[in-house]
């Protein structure tokens, strides 16, 4: 029972935050301290940033913003990064507040869009802000779920655009995964949004225990089972012993010899996926998400479990699952269900096993998600995309390998990715603990795994950069100068400026030092800094001349060595073997860039010389016979040749070159007349300078030299600072320069009619699409042909290097696609001239599929020819639908508008239409 003082404190808090007190009553569990603090800040009128681990319940804060908006009779927009997450949150809020109070906007779907609470993707809100949508009227709160997506290379800029452009009256509630620089991000939010409270929660509400499965043994990763791994946590010594035994060769290995035969599997054996699931079931560690970084691997894992007759459900549960799936898929024709592998999918689900990846039909993924959420689906074999999407917590998470394909190469997963994956383990309110499991593999280092599990440094880095569409929208709204200042307030620039702080501090110290050095170098006779500059100028000229002479002298030395022949007697001028020597081999055929003559010296050494042994051109003093069978490795041969050399030495005059070498040692070439004149002029100017006769001249010079060195360092610092400051604004200027040269902006920085079309196109290939519009490239196409033409601006092959020659569409659209590629090439050159790199090359790999689908082609035909997974096909079609809709808007009252609308109608059928509420 709480004490009187505790009850009084709670009473006071409820008096200060009455809406929060009402909100808490909606939950049958007490809110955590970080949730309470964040909600109190929201009710007090502040924006908040909540950075907390996956599964910690940070969405409670977003839900409170919804509750507060309804209480204040204001609007709240709840934004998410993906449509599937928007759908999930929409359903959650409808269950709580009713369908009249909640709407959904996901680009291609509008449900009750004028409701006081609207769930939407972040891109939809960005577009509404640029369009000045009346739906923004009365907006009081915006929840930005998964705000750490602003680091996403392709889509991250959208989050910053929204944060920057929202009206000041709107409070922003930002929900982020745990990042190490949350305070920095919160500070930026404060600069652009006003008062913002940053709340960081690092402790998971459900402890997470880390394991490594060696064979069928589940071993703890850390020695102490605290459930909260830290940088000082010790690795389980038993696991280290497994690692040492695994590294030792076995008797059979030694018997075969070090290099012979294949190595035996690691001790304990690599468990099959069925064995892993069976072990987890035995230990009451299901439900589990089993991460396999391969779509094919996920599907194969389900088949392997079915082949082993795995069943994780009761007969009653299997019947309930079957009824649920059949109802959800009833609208899909039987022919399409067969193509989509429906019956295997259903069989797996009824046994409690399923795959989950982007290649699946979205309707199938929804079935898996909902059945997993209610505990019917017990194991999901998933790619990493599940960890970044919807809310699907589990009791355990398995990571099959710590290496994944990142789009370019196979790379180790990062600590941030590891935390994101294992963060799904442990269901709040259900599990007392969660479990992360890594499968043992040959060569695994337990300490490296422990580092992944305990590292807490995941900085949030901005990926913001101004696009062409963004530029015309901003210039239209606020003008170019104001737009430039707005972009300077981006998180990208904020981070760049913070990096500059240290450089600026160094520059201030350097400038203070410069003042001190200049004062110490003062001379009563005149301006010593001027005198010092003359000295430095003279020194630079003389150094340049000296380098030129050395280079010329080196060239002379090389030429002289190249003229040597076997039997030449030379004088080696320097080095360990200085003195007379006879050339055995000129060394002109060496692989090196310079000759390396082999000689025998008077003291009987045979050595290969190099340029370091010659500080001047060499000359042959005389010649002597070298026996044809001479062997430099034979001591007797060297002795006899050295004796002959010594006999000849007495008659040699090193100062009298042989006829063949005469005239080759004339010294370095003289300086050019202009260089000599400049050096003479500065020397004369120095002698005339008043400071030249100062008794303390050299003391002053030392301070002036220090000043000069520090000045050079300060200039370098300034260049580094200039390269980092205003980087976003400079890029915006280059974007505007491109738009002006193409006529989308006029010389007065006003948006032209062409620019107004560009405003309506939000694809990453926005400028190519706008140029096609302007050039009339699409004007005479049919709806099906337009689908093919637009697809090249949307589609990107998952692995471009593996793409074979795609099947091309038929008819006149081929020429249109060729013309589109030509327009892109012209823009690509223009971008390079302006130091930009936004527009990728059009990808023709989806054009035939788009045309055939719009013509009414069957699903099995399209998927078979294109070798696309159903989920990929639907996803590209959804993006193609988005672009076709944008083209219809941008086309105005031209016939192209009706063609584009016809394209939308032709594409939205079959599996594409079934998936209208999914990503």
Tens-digit pLDDT profile for residues 873-893: 888 998 899 899 999 999 988
pLDDT of residue 105: 87
pLDDT of residue 798: 67
On whether the CB atoms of residues 292 and 304 are closer than 8 A, the answer is no
Query: For 47-68, what is the mean pLDDT?
Result: 88
Whether 244 has a pLDDT exceeding 80, the answer reads no
pLDDT of residue 682: 79
Any bridge partners for residue 142, and if so which? Answer: 77, 172
Whether 185 has a pLDDT exceeding 50, the answer reads yes
pLDDT of residue 1: 52
pTM: 0.68
Task: Give the gyration radius of the chain's Cα atoms.
Answer: 38
First-residue to last-residue Cα distance in the chain: 49
Render pLDDT for 397-453 as a digit per residue (tens, 0 to 9): 999 888 776 556 677 877 777 887 888 888 777 888 889 899 988 778 888 888 777
Burial class (CB in 10 A: 0-12, 13-18, 19+), 540: exposed
Sign of the dihedral defined by the CA atoms of residues 855, 859, 860, 864, in that order: positive
The larger pLDDT score, comparing residue 820 to residue 12, is at: 820
Whether 321 has a pLDDT exceeding 80, the answer reads yes
As a whole-number percent, the residues of the chain with pLDDT over 90 amount to: 30
Render pLDDT for 139-161 as a digit per residue (tens, 0 to 9): 999 999 888 888 877 778 888 88
pLDDT of residue 239: 82
Residue 150's SS3 state is: helix
pLDDT of residue 501: 63
Angle between helices 237-247 and 446-454 (to 10 degrees): 140
User: At a CB cut-off of 8 Å and minimum separation 6, what does 526 contact?
Assistant: 689, 690, 691
On whether the CB atoms of residues 544 and 671 are closer than 8 A, the answer is no
Whether 704 has a pLDDT exceeding 90, the answer reads no
C-alpha of 128 from chain center = 28
Burial class (CB in 10 A: 0-12, 13-18, 19+), 604: middle
On whether the CB atoms of residues 148 and 177 are closer than 8 A, the answer is yes
Between CA 796 and CA 876 the distance in angstroms is 9
pLDDT of residue 340: 87
pLDDT of residue 919: 40
Render pLDDT for 819-848 as a digit per residue (tens, 0 to 9): 999 999 999 999 999 989 899 999 999 999
Between CA 530 and CA 701 the distance in angstroms is 11
On whether the CB atoms of residues 626 and 598 are closer than 8 A, the answer is no
Between CA 506 and CA 717 the distance in angstroms is 8
Between CA 641 and CA 568 the distance in angstroms is 13
Q: Indicate the pLDDT class of residue 802, thresholds 50, 70 and 90.
A: very low
Render pLDDT for 456-471 as a digit per residue (tens, 0 to 9): 657 788 888 889 998 9
pLDDT of residue 332: 84
Residue 120's SS3 state is: strand
pLDDT of residue 339: 85
Any bridge partners for residue 217, and if so which? Answer: 214
pLDDT of residue 671: 52
pLDDT of residue 800: 53
Whether 267 has a pLDDT exceeding 60, the answer reads no
As a whole-number percent, the residues of the chain with pLDDT over 70 amount to: 87
Between CA 830 and CA 839 the distance in angstroms is 11
Q: Indicate the pLDDT class of residue 259, thresholds 50, 70 and 90.
A: very low
Mean pLDDT of the chain: 83
What letters, b where the CB count within 10 A reaches 16 and e where it falls short, cover 202-222? Answer: eebbbbbbbbbbbbeebbebb
Query: For 302-317, what is the mean pLDDT?
Result: 92
Render pLDDT for 859-877 as a digit per residue (tens, 0 to 9): 888 888 888 888 888 889 9
Whether 325 has a pLDDT exceeding 60, the answer reads yes
pLDDT of residue 20: 86
pLDDT of residue 232: 62
CB atoms within 10 A of CB 429: 11
On whether the CB atoms of residues 364 and 346 are closer than 8 A, the answer is no
Which one, of 411, 434, 431, lies nearest residue 421 by Cα? 434
C-alpha of 246 from chain center = 35
Q: Indicate the pLDDT class of residue 386, thresholds 50, 70 and 90.
A: low
Render pLDDT for 189-231 as a digit per residue (tens, 0 to 9): 988 888 899 999 878 778 888 898 888 888 888 877 665 666 6
On whether the CB atoms of residues 205 and 428 are closer than 8 A, the answer is yes
pLDDT of residue 231: 60
């Amino acid at each position: 029972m709480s004490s009187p003082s505790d009850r009084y404190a709670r009473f006071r808090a409820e008096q200060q935050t009455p809406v929060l007190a009402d909100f808490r009553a909606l939950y049958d569990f007490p809110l955590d301290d970080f949730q309470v603090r964040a909600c109190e800040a929201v009710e007090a009128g502040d924006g908040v940033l909540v950075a907390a681990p996956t599964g910690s319940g940070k969405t409670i804060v977003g839900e409170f913003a919804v509750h507060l908006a309804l209480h204040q009779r204001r609007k709240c927009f709840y934004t998410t990064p993906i449509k599937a997450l928007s759908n999930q949150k929409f359903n959650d809020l409808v269950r709580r507040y009713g369908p009249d109070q909640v709407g959904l906007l996901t680009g291609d779907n509008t449900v009750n869009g004028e409701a006081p609470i609207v769930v939407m993707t972040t891109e939809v809100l960005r577009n509404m802000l640029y369009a000045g949508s009346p739906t923004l009227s009365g907006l009081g709160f915006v929840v930005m779920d998964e705000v750490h997506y602003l680091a996403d290379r392709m889509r991250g800029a959208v989050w910053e655009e929204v944060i920057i452009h929202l009206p000041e009256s709107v409070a922003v509630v930002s929900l982020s995964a745990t990042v190490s620089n949350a305070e920095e991000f919160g500070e930026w939010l404060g600069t652009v949004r006003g008062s913002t409270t940053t709340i960081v929660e690092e402790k998971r509400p459900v402890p997470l225990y880390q394991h490594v499965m060696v064979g069928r043994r589940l071993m703890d990763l850390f020695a102490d089972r605290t459930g909260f791994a830290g940088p000082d946590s010790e690795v389980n010594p038993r696991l280290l012993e497994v690692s040492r035994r695994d590294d030792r060769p076995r008797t059979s290995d030694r018997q075969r010899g070090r290099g012979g035969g294949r190595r035996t599997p690691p001790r304990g054996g690599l468990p099959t996926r069925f064995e892993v699931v069976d072990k987890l079931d035995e230990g009451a560690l299901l439900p589990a998400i089993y991460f396999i970084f391969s779509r094919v691997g996920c599907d194969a894992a389900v088949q392997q479990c079915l082949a082993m007759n795995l069943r994780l459900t009761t007969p009653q549960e299997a019947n309930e699952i079957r009824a649920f799936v059949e109802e959800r898929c009833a609208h899909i024709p039987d022919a399409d269900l067969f193509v989509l592998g429906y019956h295997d999918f259903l069989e797996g689900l009824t046994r409690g096993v399923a795959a989950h990846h982007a290649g699946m039909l979205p309707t199938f993924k929804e079935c898996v998600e909902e059945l997993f959420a209610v505990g019917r689906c017990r194991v999901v074999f998933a790619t990493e995309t599940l960890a970044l999407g919807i809310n699907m917590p589990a009791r355990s998470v398995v990571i099959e390998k710590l290496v994944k394909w990142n789009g370019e190469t196979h790379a180790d997963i990062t600590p941030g990715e590891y935390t994101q994956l294992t963060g799904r383990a442990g269901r709040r309110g259900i599990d007392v603990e969660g479990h992360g499991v890594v499968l043992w593999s040959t060569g695994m280092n337990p300490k490296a795994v422990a580092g992944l599990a305990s590292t807490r440094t995941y900085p949030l880095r901005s990926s913001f950069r101004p696009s062409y569409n963004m530029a015309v929208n901003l210039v239209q709204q606020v003008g170019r100068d104001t737009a430039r200042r707005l972009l300077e307030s981006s998180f990208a620039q904020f981070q760049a400026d913070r990096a500059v702080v240290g450089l600026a501090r160094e520059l201030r110290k350097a400038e203070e030092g410069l003042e001190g050095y200049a004062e110490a170098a003062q001379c009563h006779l005149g301006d010593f800094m001027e005198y010092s500059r003359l000295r430095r100028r003279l020194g630079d000229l003389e150094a340049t001349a000296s380098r030129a002479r050395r280079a010329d002298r080196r060239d002379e030395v090389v030429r002289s060595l190249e003229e040597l022949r076997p039997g030449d007697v030379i004088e080696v001028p320097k080095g360990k073997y200085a003195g007379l020597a006879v050339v055995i081999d000129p060394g002109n055929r060496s692989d090196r860039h310079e000759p390396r003559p082999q000689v025998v010296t008077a003291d009987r050494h045979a050595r290969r010389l190099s340029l370091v042994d010659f500080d001047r051109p060499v000359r042959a003093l005389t010649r002597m016979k070298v026996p044809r069978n001479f062997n430099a490795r034979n001591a007797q041969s060297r002795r006899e040749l050295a004796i002959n050399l010594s006999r000849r030495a007495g008659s040699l005059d090193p100062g009298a070159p042989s006829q063949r070498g005469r005239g080759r040692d004339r010294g370095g070439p003289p300086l050019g007349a202009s260089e000599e004149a400049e050096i003479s002029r500065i020397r004369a100017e120095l002698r005339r300078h008043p400071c030249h006769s100062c008794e303390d001249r050299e003391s002053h010079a030392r301070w002036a030299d220090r000043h000069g060195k520090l000045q050079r360092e300060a200039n370098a610092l300034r260049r580094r600072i200039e390269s980092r400051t205003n980087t976003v604004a400079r890029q915006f200027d280059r974007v505007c320069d491109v738009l002006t040269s193409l006529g989308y902006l006029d010389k007065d920085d006003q948006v032209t009619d062409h620019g107004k079309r560009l405003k309506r196109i939000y694809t990453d290939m926005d400028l190519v699409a706008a140029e096609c519009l302007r050039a009339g490239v699409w004007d005479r196409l049919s709806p099906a042909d337009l689908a093919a033409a637009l697809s090249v601006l949307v589609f990107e092959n998952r692995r471009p290097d593996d793409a074979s020659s795609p099947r091309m569409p038929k008819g006149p659209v081929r020429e249109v696609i060729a013309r589109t590629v030509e327009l892109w090439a012209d823009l690509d050159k223009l971008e390079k001239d302006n130091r930009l790199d936004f527009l990728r090359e059009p990808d023709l790999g989806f054009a035939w599929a788009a045309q055939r689908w719009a013509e009414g082609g069957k699903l099995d035909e399209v998927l078979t020819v294109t070798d696309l997974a159903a989920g990929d096909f639907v996803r590209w079609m959804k993006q193609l639908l988005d672009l076709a809709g944008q083209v219809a808007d941008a086309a105005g009252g031209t016939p192209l508008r009706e063609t584009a609308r016809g394209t939308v109608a032709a594409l939205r059928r079959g599996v594409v239409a079934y998936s209208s509420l999914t990503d």
